[in-house]
Amino acid sequence: MRKKTKSAPDKFWSGKVTRESNALDLEPGVFTWTNPQKIALSLKRSAEASRRRKAPPFRSAMSMLVFYINRAGKNLDKKQLRVLEQAKKELRSLYGKKRHN
Look at residue 36 and tell me if it is in a domain: yes
Look at residue 3 and tell me if it is in a domain: no
Please say whether the beta carbons of 72 and 21 come within 8 A.
Answer: no
Q: Measured between alpha carbons, how far is 49 from 65 in angstroms, rounded to an integer? A: 16
pLDDT tens digit string along 56-89? 999 999 999 999 999 887 889 999 999 999 999 9
Look at residue 9 and tell me if it is in a domain: no
Look at residue 71 and tell me if it is in a domain: yes
- Looking at residue 1, its pLDDT comes to 52
Tally of structural domains, the chain: 1
Look at residue 14 and tell me if it is in a domain: no
Look at residue 50 and tell me if it is in a domain: yes
Look at residue 53 and tell me if it is in a domain: yes
Q: Measured between alpha carbons, how far is 61 from 76 in angstroms, rounded to an integer? A: 19
| Local structure of residue 50 (DSSP, 8 states) | -
| Local structure of residue 55 (DSSP, 8 states) | S
- Please state the separation of Cα 24 from the chain's center in Å: 9
Instruction: Return the higher-pLDDT residue of 28 and 98.
Output: 28
Look at residue 27 and tell me if it is in a domain: no
Q: Measured between alpha carbons, how far is 18 from 10 in angstroms, rounded to an integer? A: 12
Which residue segment(s) compose the domain that 80 sits in? 32-94
Q: Measured between alpha carbons, how far is 90 from 84 in angstroms, rounded to an integer? A: 10
- Looking at residue 46, its pLDDT comes to 93
